[in-house]
Structure 1
């Protein structure tokens, strides 16, 4: 979904470098046409130094892409070099004329970047200084005689366009951050609902074991150990998901082991087989929650609607996909119609970028198969 973003950025970068190279070519033509001849040691020194000022500003302007957090420093260097060249032109009339096209373009680029990234007041200060620099450079170096007076006008118009572009990008960034925050909030709400379901499942197990302890009061020790274990599982699951809800990250980091997720969902209701290659596979928290809910739903359907004597849960890899299967030998006519929450399970698996198939296998078995991509870093948002 985001594959086009780097390509677009590269296109903008290439266009920017092309514009700066074209500006350098224009400056080179203007230098050839200039008839100013430097005199004395100072003039000769300026002839050696000044021609590289435009190239330096171009390089600094491009570097702002590599160091976006140093925009203010790079902008100050670009503006400073341009003002230095303008000051030399004003104070040393016999100095060689230094064209301004590359410098003005570099100043406008860093001004636009500053308007996009810097805090409001610092961006405003940079915009004013950059505007003054862009207008002063052609005014002082070429004068205000016609047609040279058109240079400052063009620079002022370009400055306005650069500020508008920077403000448009600033607004786009703000809208993007708001969209990310909205998605993050939706993720947390979904995780909160899953937290409720997960804890309810474990607490139900605690209640069942407690009732069993009451019925077997003469030998309560083993049952109470099971109750303690179930309560510990509930606390662990709760803490894990609450930690995800408190995190500011848009996606939780991978930290849950697939084998543990499958066994926690299956409990004692099914025989579990997890292939060696995926036993210790780390999966993102939102993926583990979705798989947990799918397994719970499939096993709940077996308990409610099938007269099963054998239930198996299998986890394995198949190429670049993770495959989960819930198989039982208690097929009913209703199950054969594809009911019992199959639609809800399919939606959860589809949200992970996979697919779910439920149907008979042979004449006496029913299988629910979920396939999920193993490339968890490319999963769709909002899982």
Structure 2
């Protein structure tokens, strides 16, 4: 499991542990209350029903529809048995909490039809509790408790569902914008050179077409030039198909500016109150493809932007760009002390675009805290062998 997976999983573990503690307290509280008021073993049935519902709520992520349906069946069964056997009113406190978690989770993640069905089924359970266990006050305490649980499930589930939709929409917009930028760079850089190859090959073929009886041309030159033209045309067509996939929209005019040097980027980043940036990169021409050079620049730019936004106490930032056998590696490391408010790598939309750009070129990106202090961004970009120095 890499850094990104560990960071993504620990909040889920903490939430489930906290939920388990709440369920345990609810089970104990209900058992003690029944033992004091009803005496005997009346608390046992409520404990079994509540434990069953709580267990389903804790494993809900494995199959939300199944666990939600099973939880509602447990609630209906406990209500029927308690009403027929003269037991305390059900669903009890723990089972009500479990149903709220299950229904709220279903409302957040499931499609509209099963999510709405879960809400209606829980509403039916609340109404059935009111009918099976009538109260002289009109609405019994257990019915009120179940109604409050349903209200909390619906409100929380809807809010989280809307937040998820907003987050997904924003992420998709960022990815779409990044794909457009990549498509423009491919069009401006790659298409320009490939088109030049095709035009030169065509011109060379015209130059070899001399009048009959004129001086001959080297053997096979015309055929070789025709092959160059064919290969260039095929490469141009393939590149256009890649651009079409990246755009996924109607063609738009190019707006890509010339790439800037990392030294200029570091100079602009420096200033009062900013950490010192130590830059290490290959000297002289690299021979990398333009899209790799541009991506290296964007990774460093986004990383320094994140340092300025989320690591105000960092003293130094080390930027290292190396050319290795497997390609180009980019590493940006800061020494900021750990802060509870520093953003998780999966929540930054700038990092979404950075990851999209790197992975489009077949590379990998890792972002996360370092052991001790600071954060690290590590990107690896493959470089085709003919492009290397």
Smaller-chain TM-score range? 0.5 to 0.7
The TM-score with structure 2 as length reference comes to 0.58
2:233 corresponds in structure 1 to 231
State the distance in 2 between where 1:352 and 1:148 align: 61
Distance in 2 of aligned mates of 1:152 and 1:196: 65
Corresponding position of 1:57: 53
> Does residue 186 of structure 1 match 2:177?
yes
Mapping 1:195-344, distance limit 5 Å: 195-197=186-188, 198-217=190-209, 218-219=217-218, 220-245=222-247, 326=285
The equivalent position to 2:13 in structure 1, one of 10, 13, 27, is 10
Q: 1:137 to 1:18 in 2, by over 3 A?
A: farther
- Please say which structure displays the higher CA radius of gyration: 1
Give 1:72 shift: 2.5
Which secondary structure does the structure 2 equivalent of 1:373 belong to? strand
Counterpart in the other structure of 2:156: 165
Structure 2: distance between partners of 1:327 and 1:52? 69
Number of residue pairs aligned between Structure 1 and Structure 2: 276
Would you say 1:373 and 2:375 are equivalent positions? Answer: no
1:352 counterpart = 2:299? yes
Asked if structure 1 preserves the Cα contact closer than 8 Å seen for 2:175 and 2:352, the reply is: no
Contact kept, 8 Å, 1:323 with 1:369, in 2: the verdict is yes
RMSD: 4.3
Compute the displacement of 1:59 (Å). Answer: 0.7
Q: What is the CA distance between 1:15 and its match in structure 2? A: 2.1
Pick one of 81, 95, 101 that aligns with 2:74.
Answer: 81
CA drift of 1:85 comes to 1.4
In structure 1, C-alpha distance between the alignment counterparts of 2:161 and 2:139, rounded to whole Å = 34
Deviation at 1:171, TM superposition (A): 0.3
Distance, in Å, in 1 between the alignment partners of 2:282 and 2:128 is: 68
Which stretches in structure 2 are left out of the alignment for 5+ residues?
210-216, 250-255, 262-279, 303-320, 333-344, 358-389
Residues 108-127 of structure 1: pairs in structure 2 closer than 5 A: 108-127=100-119
In structure 2, the residue matched to 1:267 is: none
Give me the whole-angstrom Cα distance separating, in 2, the residues matched to 1:152 and 1:223.
85
> Which runs of 5 or more residues in structure 1 are unaligned?
39-45, 248-289, 299-320, 329-341, 356-367
d(CA) in 2 for partners of 1:91, 1:188: 63
Higher relative contact order (CA 8 A, sep 6+): 2
